[in-house]
Amino acid sequence: MAASRSPPREPNRRADNKNMERNIYVGVARLEVHIEDAHSLKEKRSATRPLVERIRNRHQVLIIEADHQDLHQRAGFAISALSTDPVDLESRLQRVEKTVHETWGGSVLAWDVEIIQV
């Protein structure tokens, strides 16, 4: 017995919509911090977790530990966000940077931002 097939789908007519024509921008920030009092990876996680959670909850961005996972006193994070407005994206990442400087008690070793159009 042959399986029944549904009729072919019509092409999506919403492709002509203005919203579909907008450019998408990806903002990527690289954050590197020093954790002076960490003598183990557990102490490092304990020190950085509040910062990571605050950034994630307050700014609706993705943040991951992307570098120096094996070092006790240094952490490297990648932070990313999407927008159709590059000015809004730059502003959002500037607010993240401000939160880092207001919240983090240790040294901020690096903060680099790149906005990419996709």
Q: Do the domain assignments include residue 96?
A: yes
Residues making up the chain, counted from first to last: 118
* Residues 63-104 pLDDT 10s: 999 988 888 899 999 999 999 999 999 999 999 999 999 988
pTM over 0.85, yes/no? no
Q: Do the domain assignments include residue 2?
A: no
Domain containing residue 87: CATH number: 3.30.70.1120
Contacts (Cβ under 8 Å, ≥6 apart) of 84: 22, 23, 24, 25
Domain coverage including residue 104: 23-117
Q: Do the domain assignments include residue 13?
A: no
How far apart (Å, rounded) are the C-alpha atoms in residues 46 and 50? 8
Q: Does residue 2 have a pLDDT over 90?
A: no
Q: Do the domain assignments include residue 3?
A: no
Q: What is the residue whose two structure tokens read 């500037």?
A: 94
Q: Do the domain assignments include residue 87?
A: yes
Number of domains into which the chain is organized: 1
pLDDT at 31: 95
Q: Do the domain assignments include residue 18?
A: no
Residue among 58, 44, 117 at smallest CA distance from 93: 58
